[in-house]
Chains A and B, each alone.
Chain A
Amino acid sequence: MSLNLVKILVLFLAILMIFTSFKNDFRNQNLYRWFCALLLLPATIAATILIKINAMQSSIITTTDTNLFKSLFFIDLELYIESLDIVTITCLVISLQSFLFIAEKSIFLENFLVTISTTLLLVLMQIFSNLFIISIIFSIGSIIITFERILICGDNIPIKDLTRDFIWQRISDFLNITGLLILVYNTGNISIKKITSNYFETNHSIGALLFISAVVRIISIKQTRNDSITSSSVFHISDTQYKFYTAFGSLILLIKMRIIIFNYAHITMLYQAISGTLLLVALTNLIINHKKHDKESSFILLITTVSLFLMPAIETKYFYILTLATIFLLPIQLLTARNISIKPLPRKKLESIDIVLSANLISRKIVLFLSLISANFIHPFYASFLLYRLPQLLVSAIQIPLRFFHTGSIQRSLLFMVLMAASYYSIWGL
């Protein structure tokens, strides 16, 4: 029964997402809102029953009948939902339901698509057992939400501001997938179900790769700061939704991979130290920006800080603290439903301790410098000089005797040819 409930939940969320993507056909916003509510109702009921069953039995939902999927996709699409996952899923669905009703009229149409996509992707991330699929859903989700954001506000906000964190997200993806590939090779399985049921030892490097990827992803939230929001906060909301998705998704990944990352006590200490330092930096930034009544920045930093604050709490024993704390991120999503007026911000230089921005700047400078060297020095030297000009010079050196005779006149060239032929016959004979 629980499995069917999960299927109903995901199915109706997906239908709602498809329905929302055709929003342009709707003129009457209230009607549209009621249609959305109607479609969301089965999902909400399913979520409510799920949490009730969970409270009574504290169950773990798994599937074994994956033959259909296996024959179709050749990969294991097994479902595995722990009891604490059900709590987060239900909270997400209720949060979406609340958003549907409390969202203001001026922002609803533009932002509901991003909100429903965020919710659906986060729910999908929690129901699969395969770590690969979870990571893939997360990275594709970031692309889809960026795509939707460009669709909503591409005419009003420069693309630069919408894709600021793109490269950090990709670095994090590549690190994450590399870690998982090594894990598959070493242990032979990638399913959370098998990893949790069998004790095994993994390499430090896998945990480190996954942890660094999570840290990079959470830091990248800071990168998404919009400086050029001008007239309306409609666009600001989709932006905050995206930040919420990144923070929430990274934490879900951390929860799912906790056994691999926090396998050794002394390494876990190191991770906690890193988290603590980052937390300190984020808090300092928050305090500095709070003084300036910089609401927008505080908003973003709130997400970052909360996410970072949760990191030290993760240990295999206390992961329920993390799950509960993840739910605390939900009000941020709900806050976006109210249209908070935000004053336009002037562009600023680096003022506070901003490790992220300066690291970004330095790495960008290095890459651009290297590419300039390769374009202006290595390529001309190698391609133009070494492979074309040098052989040309050599050939022209052989032609030097010819130059004595050949000065552009056809008669002299003919004379030279006759001389050549004559000398050939005189030396070699017939």
Chain B
Amino acid sequence: MIIIDENIVSFMIFTPLVSAVFITFIPTNDTGSKLAVSRFFSIIGFLFFLRIVYIFFNHKLTSPHNFSFTISQISINFNVFISEHNLFLFGALSIVLMANMILYELNDTKSNIHQVAPFVLTFILFASFGQKDIKVALPIISISNFIIYFLIGYSEKNRRGTTIFHTGIFLFTCDALALVLLQYGADDFTQLAILLPGLSRISLPLCAPFMKNLFLNLDEAEGPFILSFLHLSGFLILLLSKYELTLDQSTIALVVGIISAFSAIYIALEAINERKINTIYYYFLTFYSTLTGSVIFLLDSKQSWWVSSQLVLVNIAIFMHTARSALLVNQYRAQGNYKSRIRATWFLSICLLVGIPGLGIGTVLWPTFYLFYQKIIIMPEPLNNLWSVLLLLWLCALILLAYAMLLIFRIDYNDKNELKTAIFEHKKPIKISFVYAPFFIIFIAITIPLITTYMRIKGKIL
């Protein structure tokens, strides 16, 4: 155990890379073996992360970790810093990878890169999460986006070309602008543009006009991972750019707050028009991510890591589950096996995302709103009113999203012919795991805040 503990960080970071190498060695057609290997390594990676959490909160983790390689006169050198601010990002990504591997079946033999891409992307993000300097992390993340464009390009959607063009050109422009500004060292309001790469990845509609196009043209099985990748890298960039900005903290918080509140309303209105169950949960993910974006800036650093980690982890867990449920629901509908059990389970899965107090994401959403209120009420007069309006906008957006959920739940399944066939045809039995999954997620959504709070208290005591 001591040997593992000494090199635990390197084990966690390099597990995805090793698994990518192993998967590449297996022939492309042998998807069974590839799936087994990827599941094994994703679970091992998650266990390493759990060990890191344990060591970190016992104050036994030495930081930074230095990695250096020399391959024929080219030496690669990088440091990895682990603090409470970025620890949850590691956790979220290892959960995403594990969920992606366990929940989805690897049944395409398109190309090797399809099977390896999640691991390579995870490795790149793991390496970037440990960076302290945005000038180092941003170019790596920017370049790794090309793998995403490749994945989108290999799907079967009609407008994938436009999607790649819109997403690529916008993200690249934002990244380039931010890097130039960082080199130039602006000290006035222009430096707010440094926030753009982060905000555009979290897909705030005001900063990411490609959002709707991207949602509609992502492959159902790969979409959740790609979106999680974009959002987590966005959080990293926001966390790092927080330290780069020299402006007054409350001004930045206000700017991000205004953008995210208006975006929330915008997302909710867009979601009402959405008529596909395969995309509705992207809107919810984006909504809670925008909220997390403003948590990072509004609350002070002692509170923000704790609240944002809860929000991100619960949000990602529920998002992955709902995405999988939607895929299964579509499958059952295609088989003419859309029975009341599936309807009820789908209803419960969607309800986890709506923000009902105490259920699903609601377990962390309302404490966050409370902390916001606590922060807002002590502000001086004009700021105080402005923030109250923003808080109200978030609540309105939440109600609109609940309405959107209701519409999507009703419209897709109200076909009377389908109802008739559903009663008489039972072609394939319903998976028991599908029916019990929402209850498991309810349990996870309660335990994540408890564990985070426990760690916070324990961290203080020690």
Contact indicator A171/B399 (Cβ below 8 Å): yes
Residues 367 to 413 of chain A near chain B (Cβ within 8 Å): 367-368, 370-372, 374-375, 378-379, 382-384, 387-388
Q: Nearest chain A CB to B215's CB is how many angstroms away?
A: 12
Q: Provided the pairs A143-B351, A185-B377 are in contact, do residues A136 and B358 lie with their beta carbons within 8 angstroms?
A: yes
Q: Which residues of B contact A148 (CB under 8 A)?
A: 344
Q: Which of B211, B341, B374, B419 contacts A158 (CB 8 A)?
A: B419
Which residue in B344, B366, B454 is a CB contact (below 8 Å) of A154?
B344
Chain A 293-333 interface mask (CB, 8 Å, partner B; 1/0): 00000000000000000000000000000000000000000
Q: Which of B2-10, B121-129, B408-416 contacts A (4 or more CB under 8 A)?
A: B408-416
The minimal Cβ–Cβ distance linking A338 to chain B, given in whole angstroms, is: 25
Asked whether A152 lies within 8 Å of B340 as measured between CB atoms, the reply is yes
Binary contact track B256-284/A, C-beta < 8 Å → 1, others 0 = 00000000001001101100000000000
- CA of A185 to CA of B391 in the docked complex: distance in angstroms? 16
Q: Is the CB of A375 within 8 A of B170?
A: no
B272 and A367: CB pair below 8 A? yes
Residues in B whose Cβ lies below 8 Å from that of A160:
410, 414
Whole-angstrom distance between the alpha carbons of A370 and B377 in the complex? 31
Question: Which residues of chain A come closer than 8 Å to B104, judged between CB atoms?
Answer: none
A74 touches B450 (CB 8 A): yes
In contact, B406 and A370 (Cβ under 8 angstroms): no
Within 8 A of A (CB), among B185-219: 205, 209-212
Are B403 and A167 in contact, CB atoms less than 8 angstroms apart?
yes
Across the interface, B356 reaches (CB within 8 A) one of A74, A170, A178, namely A170
Interchain CB contact under 8 A, B406 and A139? no
CB neighbours of B182 from chain A (8 A): none
Q: Are B209 and A367 in contact (CB under 8 A)?
A: no
B269 & A388 in contact (Cβ 8 Å cutoff): no
Which residues of chain B have C-beta atoms less than 8 A from A140's C-beta? 356, 358-359
Whether A153 lies near B347 (C-beta < 8 A) is: no
Chain A interface category by residue count: 35 or more
A150 to B377, CA, bound (A): 42
The contact of A73 among B410, B416, B419, B450, by CB within 8 Å, is B450
Q: Residue-by-residue, is B339-364 near A (CB-CB < 8 Å gives 1, otherwise 0)?
A: 11101100110010010111100000
Known contacts A143-B348, A159-B410; A173/B403 CB under 8 A: no
In the complex, chain B residues whose CB is within 8 Å of the CB of A370:
269
The yes or no answer to B453 lying at the interface (CB within 8 A) is yes
Tell me the residues in window 326-345 of chain B with beta carbons closer than 8 Å to chain A beta carbons. 339-341, 343-344
CA distance A137 to B362 in the complex (A): 13
Separation of A139 and B205 alpha carbons in the complex (Å): 31
A135: CB under 8 A from chain B?
yes
The answer to whether A139 touches B339, judged by C-beta atoms less than 8 angstroms apart, is no
Q: Is A163 an interface residue (CB 8 A)?
A: yes
Q: Give the distance in Å from the alpha carbon of A158 to the alpha carbon of B374 in the complex.
A: 43
Beyond A163-B406, A171-B399, is A151–B209 a contact (Cβ under 8 Å)? no
Please give, as numbers and ranges, the residues of chain A lying within 8 Å of B406 by CB-CB distance.
163, 166-167
Q: How far is the CA of A152 from the CA of B339 in the complex (A)?
A: 10
Residues of B within 8 A of A382 (CB): 209
Contact B358 A155 (CB under 8 A): no
Expressed in whole angstroms, the Cα–Cα distance for A320 and B369 within the complex equals 35
Is the CB–CB distance between A163 and B272 below 8 Å?
Answer: no
Would you give the shortest CB distance from B433 to chain A, in whole angstroms? 17
CB closest chain-B residue, reference A186:
B377
Q: Are A371 and B269 in contact (CB under 8 A)?
A: yes
In Å, the complex CA distance between A371 and B359 comes to: 27
Is A270's beta carbon under 8 Å from chain B?
A: no
- Which residues on the B side are within 8 Å of A379 (C-beta)? 205, 212, 270
**Interchain CA distance A52-B219 in the complex, whole Å:** 64
The one of B272, B399, B450, B453 that contacts A371, using a Cβ cutoff of 8 Å: B272
| Beta-carbon contact of B344 and A150 below 8 Å | yes
Collect the chain A residues with CB atoms within 8 Å of residue B410's CB. 158-160, 163
Cβ of A353 within 8 Å of any chain B Cβ, yes or no, is: no
Report the Cα distance A422→B358, complex, angstroms: 73
- Contact at B373–A185, with CB atoms within 8 Å? yes
CA of A156 to CA of B422, assembled, Å: 10
Q: Which residues of B contact A372 (CB under 8 A)?
A: 273
A380 to chain B, nearest CB (A): 10
B370 contacts the other chain (CB 8 A): yes
- CB-CB < 8 A to B36: which residues of A? none
Is B343 a contact of A159 with CB atoms below 8 Å? yes
Q: How many angstroms between the C-alpha atoms of A63 and B111 in the bound complex?
A: 63
Q: Are A74 and B269 within 8 A (Cβ)?
A: no
Can you name 9 A-B residue pairings with CB atoms under 8 Å? A137-B358, A140-B359, A146-B347, A170-B356, A171-B399, A185-B373, A185-B374, A371-B273, A379-B212
Closest CB pairs A-B (n = 9): A154-B340, A383-B209, A136-B358, A371-B272, A150-B344, A374-B269, A154-B343, A371-B269, A151-B344
Q: What is B's interface to A at a CB cutoff of 8 Å?
A: 166, 170, 205, 209-212, 266, 269-270, 272-273, 339-341, 343-344, 347-348, 351, 354, 356-359, 366, 369-370, 373-374, 377, 395, 398-400, 402-403, 406, 409-410, 413-414, 416, 419, 422-423, 450, 453-454, 457
> Assuming A143-B348, A154-B340, A159-B413, what are 17 further A-B pairs, CB within 8 angstroms?
A72-B450, A73-B450, A136-B359, A147-B348, A151-B340, A151-B341, A153-B340, A158-B410, A159-B347, A166-B406, A167-B403, A171-B399, A178-B395, A374-B269, A375-B273, A378-B266, A388-B166
